[in-house]
Amino acid sequence: MTKRTVLTGITTTGTPHLGNYVGAIKPCIQASHDEDVQSYYFLADYHALVKNQDPELMRRSTLEIAATWLALGLDTERAVFYRQSDVPEILELTWILTCSTAKGLMNRAHAYKAAVQENLDAGEDTDFAITMGLFCYPVLMAADILMFNSTHVPVGKDQVQHLEMARDIAQRFNHHYGETFVLPEAVVEEHVAVLPGQDGRKMSKSYNNTIPLWLPEKQLRKAIMRIVTNSLEPGEPKDPDDSALFAIYAAFASPEQRADMRRAFQEGVAWGEAKQQTFELINAELVRGRERYEALMSEPRRIEEVLVDGAARARDWATPFLARIRDAVGIRRLA
């Protein structure tokens, strides 16, 4: 059996929160220890540039995300962990792919269409504030993926279309220039619950309802105390399946703990008590990582070394592969 190649990118646009941890970081770090998988995880800073044009935020987010993955025990011996912008071959491939990507395909991208729609709704020009970066985003993402012959790409549901586009782009290239790229598959973990935020909607930066992963203990407790509940009194039965607090607790709990909490809800546990237990559970899971995170944040040079090493390993593959691709399209030495 050939090894699976798993690859995913993390856009460096913000501070990691509990939803990122449960939905992406934790499962990827677990997978990084699997011997049958070659994994590539990278900081998608060129993707971040589309949305994030604040240099200080870019630097800070890159540092925080890298420190987070390392603090949580990413196996960097086995997985290749790098910063997208340290692998220039990805951008060269982006242009090569751009030249054989149909504009019509990009016109159909959800993110681009949503931006156009927003303009229309606001009575603006269709192109208002839309950059070529936004328009070409899916091609850069295809290059990320195709560069490493990725077979499996763990992503959220909102990214499935980008994977379909990457397959389209690969197929078109293969058809025209000969078999070059492996067709990747999106891996959408249906059973990994989408974590609700403090207001009960999906935890997301755009809803402003996130709980940052590395809050100091006291602030983490406060943030959990602010999760919305209802006015049911202690002793009144509560519905776990209609509770953001229960969903958040459940995402960190073992099956037994989950069953116990379910029972406690039905038996009318006080909201304050359930929140305290949620805090304790989450804090216990994060306490060691938090220490390592803080240590790493105070020594960015250690993080930089890991990323530089990761980029060198990524390029060990990417450099000769890109040479083959250039040859395939006829960009060759003349003698």
Give the residues lining the site for ligand TRP (CB under 6 A). 7-9, 11, 44, 47, 141, 144-145, 153, 155, 159
Residue showing the smallest CB distance to ligand TRP in the complex: 9
The residue (of 158 and 305) whose beta carbon lies closer to ligand TRP is 158
The residue (of 74 and 155) whose beta carbon lies closer to ligand TRP is 155
Minimum CB–partner distance for residue 258 and ligand TRP (Å) = 28
Minimum CB–partner distance for residue 327 and ligand TRP (Å) = 25
Report yes or no: 12 and 43 within 8 Å, Cβ to Cβ.
yes
Minimum CB–partner distance for residue 23 and ligand TRP (Å) = 10
The residue (of 137 and 265) whose beta carbon lies closer to ligand TRP is 137
Nearest to 153 by CA among 175, 178, 182: 182
Report yes or no: 153 and 185 within 8 Å, Cβ to Cβ.
yes
The residue (of 163 and 269) whose beta carbon lies closer to ligand TRP is 163
The residue (of 155 and 318) whose beta carbon lies closer to ligand TRP is 155
Q: Which amino acid is at 121?
A: D
DSSP 178: -
Give the span between the Cα atoms of 168 and 175, in whole angstroms.
Answer: 10
DSSP 194: P
Minimum CB–partner distance for residue 317 and ligand TRP (Å) = 16
The residue (of 169 and 250) whose beta carbon lies closer to ligand TRP is 169
Minimum CB–partner distance for residue 208 and ligand TRP (Å) = 18
**Dihedral Cα 244, 246, 252, 256, nearest 10 deg:** -160
Tokens of 144: 């990320």
Give the span between the Cα atoms of 243 and 193, in whole angstroms.
Answer: 13
Minimum CB–partner distance for residue 151 and ligand TRP (Å) = 12
Q: Which amino acid is at 44?
A: A
Tokens of 269: 């546990």
Residue 18: Cβ within 10 Å count: 24
